[in-house]
Amino acid sequence: MDTMKKIPSFTIDHLRLKRGIYVSRRDNVGGETVTTFDVRMKEPNREPALSPSAIHTMEHLAATFLRNHPLWSERIVYWGPMGCLTGNYLIIKGDLTSADVLPLMKETFSFIASFEGEVPGATARDCGNHLLMNLPEARWEARKYLAEVLECATGENLNYPG
């Protein structure tokens, strides 16, 4: 293991990282650029992480919303939680910036914050852990992120700390 190179996401200074949307990486896949975004909802190691049930609920809602979006659906590759439970990864076809997807993230988190009803895919038939859901908490976390970060984002919320 001593010879393994540290992957780029482990080189980000998590002690200085704010909540926001960051370009984590750009990759060439089949001749097309794919951009991975770090949708960071919690300040790492400085505030409590998202609960597994809240982030799981947000995963179902955001993935459904994004894959049905009238303008973006064909470009969405993936939405899913980070293992550290401080945010999500969003992978989109195209060479994009954080500012490019900020309006889309505002729409996504507004959708989650106001969602009512049955969470899509939250049945034993459709999900491997359908009981690990908490819609009220997911809505609360989405409202908090939307109001405190997305609606007032500045450069420090859209660019990794230098």
> Residue 66 in contact with residue 106, Cβ under 8 Å?
no
142 vs 10 pLDDT, higher one: 142
What pLDDT, on the 0 to 100 scale, is given for residue 12?
Answer: 82
**What is the chain's alpha carbon radius of gyration, rounded to the nearest angstrom?**
16
pTM metric for this prediction: 0.94
Q: Is residue 102 part of a domain?
A: yes
Q: With respect to residue 3, please indicate whether it lies within any of the assigned structural domains.
A: no
Can you tell me the mean pLDDT for 5-10? 76
CATH of the domain at 117: 3.30.1360.80
* Residue 2: per-residue pLDDT: 67
Q: Which residue has the higher pLDDT, 128 or 11?
A: 128
User: What pLDDT, in 10s, does the model give residues 47-84?
Assistant: 999 999 999 999 999 999 999 999 999 999 999 999 99
- Residue 37 contacts residue 12 (beta carbons within 8 Å): no
Strand pairing report for 20-29 and 76-81: unpaired
55: helix, coil or strand?
A: helix
CA dist 133 and 55 (Å) reads: 8
Instruction: Tell me the residue range of the domain where 27 lies.
Output: 13-152
